[in-house]
Amino acid sequence: MSANGMPIQSPKRIELLQGTLDMLILRTLLFGPAHGHQIAKHIQRTSDDVLQIEHGSLYPALHRLEQRGWLSAKWESAGKDLKREFKFYRLTPAGRKQLTAEESKWKQMADAIARVMWPARES
């Protein structure tokens, strides 16, 4: 297991850069409230199983985002299972603003890396 909780046994899986998990959580919650397991499964599913978020990195990230005011959380029963409660996380207005900023930084970084990896040939 890597330092950020991502398993490294499969060559298909990759480690997340610091801060990327936060952005992925914020982006996932843009679609609506979800509990931790739903968030992890959504990231795994939409990344074609490349990104598998371990509980040891997910829940500290959720707590950190909640402390920063980017998420709110509330214990609620889930669907038909009224005897069981889950902590549902919701994106706050500050979280939406942060997501926009993070997406912008991500695009700048991806563009910069692409320029280094595949420089334009001079004619």
The encoded tokens of residue 71 equal 């998420």
* Structure confidence by residue, pLDDT tens digits, 8-18: 445 555 566 66
Q: Which ranges of 51-92 would DSSP assign to H, the alpha helix?
A: 55-67
Cβ pair 40, 26 in contact under 8 A? no
> Smallest Cα–Cα separation from 28: which of 43, 48, 47?
43
In this structure, the number of other CB atoms found within 10 A of the CB of residue 91 comes to 23
Overall pTM > 0.75: yes
Q: Is the pLDDT of residue 4 over 80?
A: no
Q: Going edge to edge, which strands form the sheet with 34-35?
A: 34-35, 81-91, 71-78
- Domains annotated for the chain, with CATH where assigned, are 20-117 (1.10.10.10)
* Structure confidence by residue, pLDDT tens digits, 71-107: 999 999 877 767 789 999 999 999 999 999 999 999 9
| Residue of higher predicted confidence among 82 and 70 | 70
